[in-house]
């Protein structure tokens, strides 16, 4: 993997792999974390609007070209980032990348179709809670936090989405879709020089006022966009706060059983500690051989599924345990989880050299299996560059952990399991 800073300010992550498929991602730190109370949902709306047409192509032409050159293409808005990504044959990289670069860096933002797209997003919002597990998490976030952006859905709220104007979208775009805020990752068999040449050629085609576009090169008027709202964004919507120790319950007659989620804060952990937490999670709550699965599912048959997850994304940073059980077993399952957490905090001789050797190897294996698809590697390289210390972490996150000692793990667990919030949806 190589990281190249282009003259325009764009960061290029280049990963050479054999094969006929080339995958690429264009990403920005322009997700929902960048929003304020008045414009919740604007990051997601902006992602939609860039596909409505460019200064040279209609929406129909964009769709036709994507179908012609890209075997897979998509876009996604998360709390920390927005990414635009696709895969094509390596000989079509120039053509496929041209379409997406045009979409992302040369949108027309015409009034035509804007209201219709807002309607589409409002329909998407209505369907958001149909996923009961996702709704359980959303309900818990809303009740456990006072100010954090994750208190509200990534997609925003109906009233804030309806209030957005096309001018708001243009201003958000001009503020955040800058070259110095952009990461492009390319996973390909093409040589590095060819990839750079293709990207630099696309930059050269931009209108003069968009070349080398970065926050420092914006005029005073553009830098003054939402001056009071953006100046104090961290004060208004802090990235982190500890969850309140709440138990949130909601009834849903359309489901059988209960959906349960625990959340524990991990935003005080550094990257190395989070890597340790990921290994601990595999031991404790992830997979069929984990402590919780073995005790609650295998031995006692009290749950259908139970799964732990380390959410290390910027602005989220939580450890979660999610499970499905019956109303009759709910109290017993909660007691077992509480007991097992206390047991593991007091355990002796568990987090030894053998533990780290076993689980670091397991985590590396799972990571590399997940990255076998070039589109997955491309997207994650860009995402890690945007929200972590760099794209390199994706490939070496579980290296050099041999020197971690048991008392260090216990200190981490004391931090993580100090405060919990629980959400339950039951029939």
Runs of H (alpha helix) within 220-270 = 220-223, 227-231, 233-236
Can you read off the two tokens belonging to residue 105? 């860096």
**Residue range 122-175, pLDDT digits in tens:** 999 999 888 999 999 999 999 999 999 999 999 999 999 999 999 999 999 999
Query: What is the fold of 2-234?
Result: Cytochrome Bc1 Complex; Chain A, domain 1 (3.30.830)
| Predicted local confidence at residue 254, as pLDDT | 86
Rg (CA), the chain: 23
**What's the distance, CA 304 to chain centroid?**
27
Q: What CA–CA distance (Å, rounded) separates 410 from 267? A: 17
Closest C-alpha to 302, from 330, 322, 339? 330
Q: What CA–CA distance (Å, rounded) separates 343 from 357? A: 22
Spatial CB neighbours of 400, under 8 Å, sequence gap ≥ 6: none
3-state secondary structure of 197: helix
Break the chain into its structural domains and give their ranges: 2-234, 247-426
C-alpha dihedral over 67, 201, 77, 392, to 10 degrees?
A: 120
**Residue range 199-225, pLDDT digits in tens:** 999 999 887 555 445 433 333 333 333
Between 1.10.150.530, 3.30.830.10, 3.40.50.720, 3.40.1710.10, what CATH number should domain 247-426 receive?
3.30.830.10
| Predicted local confidence at residue 225, as pLDDT | 37
| Predicted local confidence at residue 253, as pLDDT | 87
**What's the distance, CA 231 to chain centroid?**
24
The pTM of this model reads 0.91
| Predicted local confidence at residue 228, as pLDDT | 32
**Mean pLDDT over each residue of the chain, to the nearest integer:** 91
Does this chain's domain 2-234 share its CATH topology with 247-426? yes
Instruction: List the pLDDT tens digit at each of the 427 positions of the chain.
Output: 999 999 999 999 999 999 999 999 999 999 999 999 899 999 999 999 999 999 999 999 999 999 999 999 999 999 999 999 999 999 999 999 999 999 999 999 999 999 999 999 999 999 988 899 999 999 999 999 999 999 999 999 999 999 999 999 999 999 999 999 999 999 999 999 999 999 999 999 887 555 445 433 333 333 333 333 334 444 467 889 999 999 999 999 888 899 999 999 999 999 999 999 999 999 999 989 999 999 999 999 999 899 999 999 999 999 999 999 999 999 999 999 999 999 999 999 999 999 999 999 999 999 999 999 999 999 999 999 999 999 999 999 998 887 889 999 999 999 999 989 999 999 8
């Amino acid at each position: 993997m190589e990281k190249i800073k282009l003259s325009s300010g764009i960061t290029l992550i280049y990963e050479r792999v054999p094969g006929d498929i080339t995958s690429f991602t264009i990403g920005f730190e322009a997700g929902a974390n960048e929003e304020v109370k008045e414009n919740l949902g604007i990051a997601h709306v902006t992602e939609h609007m860039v596909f409505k047409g460019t200064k040279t192509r209609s929406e129909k032409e964009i769709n036709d070209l994507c179908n012609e050159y890209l075997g897979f293409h998509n876009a996604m808005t998360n709390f920390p980032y927005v990414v635009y990504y696709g895969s094509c044959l390596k000989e079509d990289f120039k053509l496929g990348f041209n379409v997406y670069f045009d979409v992302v860096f040369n949108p027309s933002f015409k009034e035509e179709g804007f209201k219709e797209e807002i309607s589409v997003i409002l329909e998407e919002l209505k369907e958001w809670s149909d996923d009961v597990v996702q709704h359980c998490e959303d309900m818990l976030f809303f009740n456990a936090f006072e100010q954090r952006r994750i208190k509200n859905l990534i997609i925003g709220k109906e009233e804030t989405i309806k209030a957005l104007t096309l001018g708001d979208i243009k201003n958000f775009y001009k503020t955040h879709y800058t070259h110095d805020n952009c990461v492009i990752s390319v996973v390909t068999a093409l040589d590095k020089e060819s990839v750079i040449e293709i990207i630099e050629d696309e930059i050269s085609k931009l209108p003069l006022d968009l070349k080398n576009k970065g926050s420092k090169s914006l005029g005073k008027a553009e830098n003054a966009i939402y001056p009071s709202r953006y100046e104090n964004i961290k004060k208004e919507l802090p990235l982190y706060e500890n969850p309140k120790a709440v138990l949130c319950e909601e009834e849903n007659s359309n489901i059988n059983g209960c959906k349960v989620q625990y959340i524990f804060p991990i935003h005080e952990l550094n990257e190395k500690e989070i890597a340790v937490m990921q290994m601990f999670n595999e031991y404790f709550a992830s997979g069929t051989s984990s402590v919780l699965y073995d005790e609650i599912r295998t031995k006692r048959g009290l749950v259908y599924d139970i799964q732990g997850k380390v959410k290390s994304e910027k602005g989220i940073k939580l450890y979660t345990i999610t499970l499905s059980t019956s109303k009759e077993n709910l109290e017993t399952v909660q007691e077992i989880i509480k007991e097992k957490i206390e047991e593991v905090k007091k355990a002796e001789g568990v987090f030894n050299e053998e533990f780290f050797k076993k689980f670091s190897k397991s985590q590396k294996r799972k990571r590399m299996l997940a990255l076998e698809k070039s589109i997955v590697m491309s997207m994650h390289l860009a995402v890690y560059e945007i929200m972590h210390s760099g794209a390199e972490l994706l490939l070496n996150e579980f290296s050099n952990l041999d020197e971690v000692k048991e008392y260090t793990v216990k200190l981490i667990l004391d931090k993580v399991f100090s405060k919990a919030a629980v959400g339950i949806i039951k029939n």
